Amino acid sequence: MRLVVCFLLLVSFGFKAFAGSYADSIAEYRKQYVAELLADKRSPIKHAQVKNLSFFPPDRSYCVWADVQLTPGSKPFLIQTHSGKQKPFREYGTITFSVHDSTFTLHMYQSVDMVNDAAHKDDLFVPFTDESNYASTYGGGRYIDLSIKDIKEGKLPVDFNKCYNPYCAYADGFSCPIPPKENSMHIEINAGERVFQQ
């Protein structure tokens, strides 16, 4: 059964405050996301283009608890990118969850190039596609970042309101990982970042 990640706020503050607090938290998250996007020296987005970034309204139904299944001993493999290059990753595990009465399993990866970096050793990367691609969202799929630190007793909070576009959604010349077929979702994920408005 799907559980809303932020349910404790509902208990503490009541439904109206909960709804406002959740929307506010997503607004703050997106504000920080845009700031970090602009701060990146490689960023394809300039200040004048921020107005072209677009997001779905916050929707708590896309904020779920996932069951985690670890895959220890998995071997590194190469993920194809939009530039034609390949990047090495290893599977850390899978997450299984329900969205709108449908159950999905996605694979979580660790970058082989970054796993020994103290600042990124807990980072988990989930590239995925869904049926909103080529319509309201970028055709090449989107990404969501998770953390090993957030796994508690085999559970992990996953909020698709925080999924984002790869740099390839904004400009050519980047080596953005293409989501593997195993991470295809046969549902529209109308949450997170929309297609970039050129």
Q: What is the pLDDT of residues 35-93, one digit of tens each?
A: 999 999 999 999 999 999 999 999 999 999 999 999 999 999 999 999 999 999 999 99
Report yes or no on 190 lying in a domain.
no
Range of the domain at 122: 7-183
Give yes or no for a contact between 96 and 155, defined as CB atoms under 8 angstroms apart: no
Report the run of H or E that residue 30 belongs to, with start and end: helix 7-39
Q: Model confidence over 124-181: pLDDT tens digits? A: 999 999 999 999 999 999 999 999 999 999 999 999 999 999 999 999 999 999 999 9
Report yes or no on 140 lying in a domain.
yes
Q: What is the pLDDT of residue 20?
A: 66
Q: Is the pLDDT of residue 105 over 80?
A: yes
> Based on the structure, what is the number of domains in the chain?
1
CA angle 102, 140, 54 (to 5 degrees): 85
Which of 60, 58, 65 lies closest to 2, judged by CA?
65
Report yes or no on 102 lying in a domain.
yes
